[in-house]
Amino acid sequence: MKKRITDIPKSERPRERLLTRGPGALSDVELMAILVGKGTEGHDVLSVAERIIGTIDSCRAGLNMEELQKIEGVGPAKATLIAAALEFSRRRIRPEGTKISTPCDVLPLLSHYADRKQEYFICISMNGANEIITSRVVSVGLVNKTQVHPREVYADPITDRASAVIVAHNHPSGSLTPSREDRTITEQLKSAGEMLGISLLDHIIFNKKGYYSFLEHKEL
């Protein structure tokens, strides 16, 4: 059973923790719950926040206001508040142009996916100067497995006119050891990238405790 906001001691609820510990101490769901404010009779605010994040993550082409308002508890007022907050943060904190020299340089873009319960596969498009063009979620999988295909990974980087990509995914299980599937998809992406003229610079597996870089382990 999912924890409801009323099950959490008042001092540990999102708003109170933000005041005492700062926004960096909160998960994405908790931050969204503060924006949403309250849930509905049948859906706790944390459940509503989780559904909103799922909808946002699935909208690769941009925030879909219609899909957002299909969530019970999200009307035009909340949808516009969420859209405004996301756009404001996007304008102020842009990854575009950030130069990547080591795998650690991309971790700030990935850290908020570390506590997700499903696997998120992310692709970061890079230009010829190893600067970030943009970062996208390619797919969302099950608890310990996500399915990706090279055509899905490279579709947007081709449009971006990217020279290279870095791919990454979280491991909800906690282990940072690459699975057989992880190694297979890495080889597939490397081969496909070579055919397209887009270099695969790294594949990073990460969680809340650390990361595994195929590049650092000389597997690329």
User: Angle CA(29)–CA(35)–CA(40) in degrees, nearest 5?
Assistant: 80
Q: Would you state the structure tokens that stand for residue 51, as one six-digit string? A: 């559904």
Residues of the chain with pLDDT under 50: none
pLDDT at site 91: 67
**Hey, what domains does the chain have and what are their CATH numbers?**
5-92 (no CATH), 103-213 (3.40.140.10)
Q: Would you state the structure tokens that stand for residue 50, as one six-digit string? A: 């989780």
Beta bridge partners of 80: none
Question: Helix/strand/coil (H, E, C) string of 14-52?
Answer: HHHHHHHHCHHHCCHHHHHHHHHCCCCCCCCHHHHHHHH
Contact present, 123 and 136 (Cβ < 8 Å): yes
